[in-house]
Amino acid sequence: MPALSRQETEKLAKDSGDWMLSSENISLTKRFDLGSFNAALEFFNEIGRLALEQKIFPDLNLREHIVEVKLDAAGPSLSRSDFSLAEKINRLF
């Protein structure tokens, strides 16, 4: 998937539902508060399943009831696939 321009990534990030775009346009991050460890663990595993389906492998961090997700660009900038995964993760939440 081709890399997006800075304008495209900024527009998609703005529409992404609270995902934070790095200043270098190479990563998206978001923190999810699930309220309990069990809910957070289930959410964490669902993100893993989505990532495997899309062949995009985010950095995932699970602490107590919080899941932090970071999507890093595979090339010089994020791709539409990265934003697609972010949207799917939002729908899980």
Domain ranges for the chain, please list them: 6-92
Cα–Cα dist 46/56, whole Å = 14
Helix, strand and coil percent figures for the chain, each rounded to 5: 45, 25, 30
CA atoms within 13 A on the CB side of 16: 26
Q: pTM of whole model > 0.85? A: yes
**Would you give per-residue pLDDT tens digits along the chain (93 residues)?**
677 888 999 999 889 889 999 988 899 999 999 999 999 999 999 999 999 999 999 999 999 999 999 999 988 889 999 999 999 999 999
Superfamily classification of domain 6-92: Transcriptional coactivator/pterin dehydratase (3.30.1360.20)
In order, the DSSP letters of 25-49 are SSEEEEEEE-SSHHHHHHHHHHHHH
Task: Provide CB contacts within 8 A for 45, sequence distance 6+.
Answer: none
